[in-house]
Structure 1
Amino acid sequence: MSNGAVPETDPSEFEGADASFLKDFATLSTFGATDRGGVDRQAGSEADGDQRAWFSQLLMENGFTVSFDQIGNQFGMLDLEAGKPYVVVGSHLDSQPTAGRYDGAYGVLAAAHAAFRLAAEWQTSGNTPRYNLAVVNWFNEEGSRFKPSMMGSSVYTGKMTLDSALTTTDPAGITVREALVSSNALGDGTGPQAAYCAEIHIEQGRSMERDGIAIGVVDSNWAANKYEFVVHGEQAHTGSTVIADRHDALLGASLLVVAAREIADHFPDGAVHTSVGQLDVYPNSPVVVPSRVNLLLDLRSANEALLREADRMLHERLEQIERSARVKIEKVGSHCWPVTPYQPEGVALAEKIAANRGITHARVKTLAGHDSTNMKDIVPTVMLFVPSVEGISHNEHEYTTDQDIVTGLHVLTDVVRSLCEGELDPS
């Protein structure tokens, strides 16, 4: 799978609304498409603006009102009863630079098609559910162009101020505000008031495929400590400066990369994950010893005690690296979150729905951050996973079968219906 082409969706194998969903997913996958079957549509880019315009048109054609809030979150709203709050369902359309076409995008389009089906159902029956319905495309979940990740939902939930988000710059110095204006996505207001939230996403791991599970019911997230470090050294000539006189920032950064991996290897059975996903080297010249390296390092675990121990080990290593490489390491940013459960009543609801449909399901945890991990801190939230083939994600060969994404759509539709009808309301 990882060495071959990504299979195309084939709506002809499905009928009616399911075929329509797969057709729309194939269209969505053309925005920012790469030659190897993936997508590149980072937040606020031209491709992101194009797909948002297409998505707005799709929502409006199906009777939804579209609006953008002050941080560029895109909402398609079905107002069934004035003054009522909303069940907010969706994910994100932005991607990593060379990414798979399922991450985030599947959850947004599944949310839209679940909403279309429910709108038609309620119109036919004449029933009015207890809550209004809003489909959401959260801004900058990936954090690849603008840091930190999950920016749109962080502003919506009050975890990040609007001003700090809008003034964040990308590596070229373009602010979030400027990117939103250029992509016609800067709105006003704070978005619809949420009563409940739901999100469906690919697992981005291999456990569900391995265990033959069609629906993962997420019951909690892993904790994460994400840091931005700057390693400060001193520029020098790579040829004439003797080794003993060098203050090599890249050497210090390299030792930090190795330290992160050694910390992960210290803990058994993959209990702690660590990574360094980005390095920016200055001046990045072939004949200059680097004077500065910016890097992002993260630690993750489902066990907060282990995460604390890993964090202690990391900071201990920082001092050792500073001495051995003769550099200074500065922590200039952090983005951390604890282990927090999804509401048990939402977990039970999703399990009941999957069981009623005869679909194999199990409780799982999310190792990655998602917008729903922010939303669950303010409203009851249901998070669902569908399998990822070979666990591949953030990769152009990311793939989930048509049958699995359609199955997920069916379960999500039932979950959203139940939330809109107030099944989780206090009795």
Structure 2
Amino acid sequence: MNDSTSTHETAGREDSPALSASAFLRDFHHTSRFGATSGGGIDRQAGTPEHGAVRDWFEERAQELGFTVAGDGIGTLFARREWIPGAPFVLVGSHLDSQPLGGRFDGTYGVVAALHAAAAVDADVAAGTLSPRHNVAVVDWFNEEGSRFAPSIMGSSVHAGLLDLDTALRTRDPDGTTVAEALEATGRRGGTPGPTAAAYAEIHIEQGRRLERSGIPVGVVDRSWHTQKLLVSVVGEQSHTGATLMADRRDALTAAAQVVLAVESVVESFPPESIVTSVGQLDVEPNSPIVVPRQVDLVVDLRADRAEDVDRARRLLLDRFREVAADRGVEVRSEDFDVRPVQRFPAAGVDLAEKAARDDGLESAVLATLAGHDAVAMNRVAPSVMLFVPSTDGVSHCEREYTSDADMVSGLSVLTGVLRRLVAGDLDDVAPGGSATA
């Protein structure tokens, strides 16, 4: 998709040379050089040198725009603009880390857009056209993706009190490096507590095709899906691939293949598009070309709009795992992990975002997020607003991920309108969202 073919025009969105659509696009596309891959994506897993480099750029750029930058204990960066000493902050942002061989839009767009939206609001305050009740802080959350260090959404979960800081710092990657060591290596082991949040806002690519299919430029998120993971171990017996007869094998990998297929096929027990499942990670032991595998560890991901659908899928899978174990002469162990209930965003925040879109002459659609985001964690402690912009072909977490310049600029404009309202205190009487059963 070529930017020039988008139906959402960027004309009329230039404000000043420092705070223009072109300046935003220049900054955004500049970030793509950090961890760039040959396929047009990025590889910036949390705490790697590439991630450290883009965070250094973010700090320098924020300082150029008049923000003061400091990191907290889990390495999240806060670029603050304090107009009212002692007042709480409206936080706005996303994350700069990526999946391996990931896309250049996921997370990064939300951080760069947040920086430019906050700079525009700062210019309004300086000009006297906006009277703030709160300060503003642009956030780059640490380790949203969770590809190197599990679980995902780490920085915002620590900030929201959902994850213990020391536990997070002790988390190790597959090579044995801890989060604390990775932060030290990139110079991001901070010690300044994050600001108290009066509200939170985030904009993100949709990572789906609903907006693209409908031709609507802005999505307003009203809830998240219920999600949970299962840590599954398939345990067989190691033996020689050449000397062990087929009938004598207890092959953990062939049994694990049946587990993977069961995870995919369980969706057939539910209405179309009501549940998604996947296995995205496999570790095989001993992983030798002449050894029958003795153990396979894998992660099952279950997501649905209704908690009871996830629970039912889990029960069906456990039954199937027992059948695989009996048929194959192996042991299949399963442990619940990373259960995240449905989160409903405040209705007043949804209304506020829809108004901001209308003010820009843009149509919006209210929809759920199937993926997890930092806004879901922050919604537990502060009234939160989450926006989406279209994703071409719905592709994400791969190098082909794409959103047009025009759609990004439209989203930036709506985010700026949302941020103006939040800084002015429009959600001050609104409680944070909470878990709910769908």
Aligned pairs for 1:19-418 (under 5 A) are 19-125=22-128, 127-332=130-335, 334-418=337-421
User: Shift of the alpha carbon at 1:309?
Assistant: 1.1
Instruction: Give the 4+ runs in structure 1 shifted more than 3 A.
Output: 12-16
Residues 90 and 198 of structure 1 are in contact (CA less than 8 Å); yes or no, is this contact kept in structure 2? yes
SS state at 2:202 partner: strand
Distance in 2 between residues matched to 1:216 and 1:145, nearest whole Å:
29
Amino acid at match of 1:175: T
Distance in 1 between residues matched to 2:73 and 2:255, nearest whole Å:
40
Amino acid at match of 2:71: F
Structure 2, unaligned runs of 5 or more? 431-438
Residues 6 and 399 of structure 1 are in contact (CA less than 8 Å); yes or no, is this contact kept in structure 2? no
Residues 3 and 404 of structure 2 are in contact (CA less than 8 Å); yes or no, is this contact kept in structure 1? no
Distance in 1 between residues matched to 2:398 and 2:218, nearest whole Å:
22
Distance in 1 between residues matched to 2:135 and 2:255, nearest whole Å:
54
User: Shift of the alpha carbon at 1:135?
Assistant: 0.4
Moved more, 342-351 or 325-334: 325-334
SS state at 1:52 partner: helix
TM-score by length of 1: 0.95
Residues 198 and 428 of structure 2 are in contact (CA less than 8 Å); yes or no, is this contact kept in structure 1? no
User: Shift of the alpha carbon at 1:241?
Assistant: 1.1
User: Shift of the alpha carbon at 1:356?
Assistant: 2.1
Amino acid at match of 2:25: L
SS state at 2:287 partner: coil
Amino acid at match of 2:188: A
Distance in 1 between residues matched to 2:92 and 2:418, nearest whole Å:
10
Q: Quick one: structure 1 residues 332 and 304, their matched pair in 2 at CA, closer, same or farther if it must change by over 3 Å?
A: closer
Structure 1 residues 110-168: Cα deviation after superposition (integer angstroms, max 9, x where no partner): 00000011111111117540001010000110011111111111111111111111111
Distance in 2 between residues matched to 1:391 and 1:161, nearest whole Å:
34
Q: Quick one: structure 1 residues 186 and 413, their matched pair in 2 at CA, closer, same or farther if it must change by over 3 Å?
A: same
TM-score by length of 2: 0.93
Residues 227 and 296 of structure 1 are in contact (CA less than 8 Å); yes or no, is this contact kept in structure 2? yes
Amino acid at match of 2:184: V
Amino acid at match of 1:272: I
- Per the alignment, residue 433 of structure 2 pairs with none
User: Shift of the alpha carbon at 1:305?
Assistant: 2.0
Moved more, 225-234 or 105-114: 225-234
Amino acid at match of 2:94: S
Residues 203 and 385 of structure 1 are in contact (CA less than 8 Å); yes or no, is this contact kept in structure 2? yes
Distance in 1 between residues matched to 2:68 and 2:324, nearest whole Å:
55
SS state at 1:39 partner: coil
SS state at 1:268 partner: coil
Amino acid at match of 2:24: F
User: Shift of the alpha carbon at 1:325?
Assistant: 1.8
Moved more, 12-21 or 298-307: 12-21
Distance in 2 between residues matched to 1:59 and 1:387, nearest whole Å:
26
Distance in 1 between residues matched to 2:420 and 2:208, nearest whole Å:
28
SS state at 2:342 partner: coil
Distance in 2 between residues matched to 1:312 and 1:177, nearest whole Å:
37
Residues 86 and 133 of structure 1 are in contact (CA less than 8 Å); yes or no, is this contact kept in structure 2? yes
User: Shift of the alpha carbon at 1:210?
Assistant: 0.3
User: Shift of the alpha carbon at 1:242?
Assistant: 1.9
Give the length in aligned residue pairs. 422
Residues 228 and 336 of structure 2 are in contact (CA less than 8 Å); yes or no, is this contact kept in structure 1? no
Moved more, 182-191 or 341-350: 182-191
Residues 285 and 296 of structure 2 are in contact (CA less than 8 Å); yes or no, is this contact kept in structure 1? yes
